[in-house]
Amino acid sequence: QSVLTQPPSVSGAPGQTITIFCTGSSSNIGAGYDVHWYKQLPRTAPKLLLYGTNKRPSGVPDRFSGTKSGTSASLAITGLQAEDEADYYCQAYDSSLSGSVFGGGTKLTVL
Amino acid sequence: QVQLAQSGTEVRKPGASVKISCQASGYTFTTYYMQWVRQAPGHGLEWMGMINPQIGSTAYSQAFRGRVTLTSDTSTSTVYLQLSSLRSEDTAVYYCGRSPYGDYVLDWGQGTLVSVSS
């Protein structure tokens, strides 16, 4: 059971917008710690997608955006493309564990 | 460009230890933390710990405390992860990752498969 909870799967048609939620608690997201998001293709290392809740590293298109409210964060992908099909993970620091934690991951299927 | 080159596949028996390496290049080694994350087959990412290569300070996940040791060698820009008392559940791909402030991972190694089987 992950400290950060993500839905196991989401899906959407090309061109649509999907949102992946990451639910935490008062010791991580609710405590004000930043949330980071990663994209992972099969059999490859994860890739940083968003850091500091809503900042995009160089090369990440602005179709990807992040928000945070209370004990939850979300990743939104607009204009869904086939290449977006992957697993997505959230990460945040947890003060009660004195370490970083990941969400369980969400598999995005582009229909 | 930044590269994190990890050592190759390791096969161990239960109860043994393993030490894997992550050699960094393309940036100033001592100015970034290094995180370690593992992924068991068919499972998600699991944070293991991190090290500040400049001063050698470490932080470990409670799930691995007592079994994991992170070290760094600034002369070779290499970080090491040692995991002891291996069990079958430790079979996973282990990733190192460059981290600006010890929070997010900016760049990842290619991963090292550790297989634990009797």
Between CA A75 and CA A35 the distance in angstroms is 10
What type of residue is A8?
P
Does the pLDDT of residue B73 top 90, yes or no? yes
Q: Mutate one of B103, B107, B112 to test the A interface: name it (highest A CB count within 10 A).
A: B103
What residue spans of chain B are helical by DSSP H? Answer: none
pLDDT bin (cut points 50, 70, 90) of residue B102 is confident
- Could you say which of A45, A57, A99 has the minimum Cβ distance to residue B47? A99
Does the pLDDT of residue B7 top 90, yes or no? yes
Helix (H, G, I), strand (E, B) or coil at A64: strand
Does the pLDDT of residue A73 top 90, yes or no? yes
**B21-40 pLDDT, tens per residue?**
999 999 999 999 999 999 99
Q: Which residue of A has its CA nearest to B105?
A: A48
Does the pLDDT of residue B65 top 90, yes or no? no
Between CA A50 and CA B33 the distance in angstroms is 18
Which helix (H) or strand (E) is B21 found in, with range? strand B18-25
**How far is B79 from chain A, CA to nearest CA, in Å?**
18
Contact (Cβ atoms closer than 8 angstroms) between residue B101 and residue B33: yes
* Binary contact (B45, A46; C-beta < 8 A): yes
Q: Which residue of B has its CA nearest to A99?
A: B61
Contacts of B98 in chain A (CB under 8 A): none
Q: Check if A49 contacts B (Cβ < 8 Å).
A: no
pLDDT score of A64? 97
* Exposed/middle/buried for residue B35 (C-beta within 10 Å: 0-12, 13-18, 19+): buried
A vs B, Cβ pairs < 8 A, gives 62
Q: Check if A91 contacts B (Cβ < 8 Å).
A: yes
Contact (Cβ atoms closer than 8 angstroms) between residue B56 and residue B79: no
Between CA B93 and CA A40 the distance in angstroms is 13
Which token pair is A66?
């992040």
**How far is B21 from chain A, CA to nearest CA, in Å?**
16
Between CA A45 and CA A57 the distance in angstroms is 16
**A81-93 pLDDT, tens per residue?**
999 999 999 999 9
pLDDT score of A2? 86
Does the pLDDT of residue A1 top 90, yes or no? no
| Mean predicted confidence (pLDDT) in B59-65 | 91
pLDDT score of A82? 97
Which token pair is B17?
């230890």
Q: Check if A32 contacts B (Cβ < 8 Å).
A: no
pLDDT score of A91? 98
- Contacts of A32-35 with CB under 8 Å at 24 or more apart are A33/A92, A33/A93, A33/A94, A33/A95, A34/A92, A34/A93, A34/B103, A34/B104, A35/A66, A35/A68, A35/A73, A35/A90, A35/A91, A35/A92
**A13-42 pLDDT, tens per residue?**
999 999 999 999 999 999 999 999 999 999
**B38-58 pLDDT, tens per residue?**
999 999 999 999 999 999 999
pLDDT score of B25? 97
**How far is B45 from chain A, CA to nearest CA, in Å?**
6
Which token pair is A83?
């290449």
pLDDT score of B101? 86
Between CA B63 and CA B51 the distance in angstroms is 16
Contacts of A87 in chain B (CB under 8 A): 44
Contacts of A97 in chain B (CB under 8 A): 61-62
List of residues 6+ apart from A75 with CB closer than 8 A? A19, A20, A22, A37, A49, A50, A64, A65, A66, A88, A90
Contact (Cβ atoms closer than 8 angstroms) between residue A63 and residue A83: no
Q: Which residue of B has its CA nearest to A104?
A: B44
pLDDT score of A4? 97
